Amino acid sequence: MRAYLYRSYGGPDVMQLATVPVPSAAPKSGYLIKIHAFSFNPIDFKRRSGALKALRPDTFPVILGYDASGTVEAVGEGASKFKVGDEVYLRIGQEFSQQGTAAEYTIALEKYVAAKPSNMSHEEAAAVPLAAVTALQMLRRAGFKAGDKVFISGGAGGVGTYAIQIAKALGASLVATSASSAKIPLLQSLGADEVVDYKTTKFAEVYKDRRFDIALDMTAECLDLFKVVKPGGSVASVVIAFSKESWTEAGKQGPGCEDLPSPGLFVRLFLWLSSRSLYNAASSASLSLYGVLLQPNALDLEELTKLVETGKLRSIIKDQVFTGVDASPEAFKLCESGRATGKIIVKVV
């Protein structure tokens, strides 16, 4: 099968298109999946650069891509939810993380696989698993409840476009976000009540009355977000502020599954040193701060499926769908530019 992969850490030049074997069989308690569409996410280039190697070292080659939509090709021993031919979507877990989704086939354990929303194409569905589950888990971790006022930094990105819609669907009374001017109408159409043009205006100035209950950080702007959230409120970041608790939360594997091991001493020390000043600043502003690491799982995907199938959640992929695994370099370049609107998709078949 064709795949987009890298054999060492480094810049964009270490990635290559290659022909590699199709995984030989479905894993125990999992599936072999024929991929119809996959997406790229910033984690792909952060991991490729080697920035995460102290936390999660890789063996090579690594096939890029974390999420996909496709059909079940083979069922492993002990897997029972789906049969051959079923349409599914998934965010792979760390068990087979070298076997990414930027290829024609991948493998995944059952606990990460959910039925594809019936009203989405494979391209639309492939956009959901990593980014939308992240948005849902950020809201949850920040203690979101109906009626809350929410500020979302970076509303036009993959995570932001879902976060706006999910916050509205779950009953936020005000959703405000930041984006560049050309992207404002789209974010309003997704449900944003107010959008600050981040190129001309500082959101920390506009909202210095601290009217928000919670804020979600996609742009490493926690210090400014502390200025807009009311005392007693909370800020969740997926970019900075990672702690031992972030790691432990991400390792919870859900009902019937054993949690992943807690971080070792070196990782705990690293996390503490890199984020303690932020936690001190949050505490001085009487706020709770949470560094959120995605915990992939099928249950959250199923919750999102309900929002999709009731028309409350959609994927923004327009003009960012590339065709064929061999179009991956072009798609990846857009992802790594940081200028995409919504999600970047590669349609495989």
Surface-to-core class of residue 76, CB atoms within 10 Å of its CB (0-12 exposed, 13-18 middle, 19+ buried): middle
The residue to which tokens 């030049």 are assigned: 13
Look up residue 181 and give its DSSP letter: G
Q: Does 339 bind ligand NDP (CB under 6 A)?
A: yes
Look up residue 13 and give its DSSP letter: G
Of 75 and 250, nearer to ligand NDP (C-beta) is 250
In whole angstroms, the minimum distance from the beta carbon of 225 to ligand NDP comes to: 11
In whole angstroms, the minimum distance from the beta carbon of 247 to ligand NDP comes to: 11
Q: Site for ligand NDP (CB under 6 A): which residue of 15, 125, 131, 186?
A: 131
Q: Does 178 bind ligand NDP (CB under 6 A)?
A: yes
Of 213, 218, 216, 235, the closest CA to residue 281 belongs to 235
Of 153 and 305, nearer to ligand NDP (C-beta) is 153
CA angle 270, 276, 277 (to 5 degrees): 130
How far is 64 from 130, CA to CA, in rounded Å?
A: 14
How far is 117 from 179, CA to CA, in rounded Å?
A: 28
In whole angstroms, the minimum distance from the beta carbon of 240 to ligand NDP comes to: 9
Q: Site for ligand NDP (CB under 6 A): which residue of 134, 275, 297, 320?
A: 134
Of 306 and 339, nearer to ligand NDP (C-beta) is 339
Of 111 and 183, nearer to ligand NDP (C-beta) is 183
CA angle 288, 290, 291 (to 5 degrees): 155
Q: Site for ligand NDP (CB under 6 A): which residue of 65, 157, 233, 263?
A: 157
What is the total count of residues that contact ligand NDP (CB under 6 A)?
A: 29
How far is 239 from 16, CA to CA, in rounded Å?
A: 27
Is residue 153 helix, strand or coil?
coil
Of 109 and 294, nearer to ligand NDP (C-beta) is 294
Look up residue 259 and give its DSSP letter: P
User: What is the phi/psi pair of residue 76, to 5°?
Assistant: -80, 160
Query: Of the listed pieces 26-34, 264-272, 286-294, 307-315, which binds ligand NDP according to CB under 6 A?
Result: 286-294
The contact mask relative to ligand NDP for 213-242 (x = CB under 6 A, - = no) is -----xx------------------xx---
Strands (E), the chain: 2-6, 15-19, 30-40, 62-63, 67-75, 87-91, 105-109, 113-115, 149-152, 174-179, 194-197, 212-217, 229-237, 288-291, 321-323, 344-347
Q: Are strands 30-40 and 321-323 parallel, antiparallel or unpaired?
A: unpaired
How far is 264 from 251, CA to CA, in rounded Å?
A: 13
Of 18 and 220, nearer to ligand NDP (C-beta) is 220
Of 41 and 71, nearer to ligand NDP (C-beta) is 41
Of 75 and 292, nearer to ligand NDP (C-beta) is 292
Q: Does 158 bind ligand NDP (CB under 6 A)?
A: yes
Q: Site for ligand NDP (CB under 6 A): which residue of 38, 198, 212, 332?
A: 198
Q: Does 293 bind ligand NDP (CB under 6 A)?
A: yes
CA Rg, the chain, in Å?
20
Which 19-38 positions form the footprint of ligand NDP (CB under 6 A)?
none
Q: Does 156 bind ligand NDP (CB under 6 A)?
A: yes
Instruction: Give pairs for 327-331: CB < 8 Å, separation 24+.
Output: 328/4, 328/17, 328/40, 328/64, 328/102, 329/4, 329/15, 329/17, 331/40
The contact mask relative to ligand NDP for 87-126 (x = CB under 6 A, - = no) is ----------------------------------------
Contacts with ligand NDP by CB under 6 A lie at 41-43, 46, 131, 134, 153-154, 156-160, 178-180, 183, 198, 218-219, 238-239, 292-294, 338-341
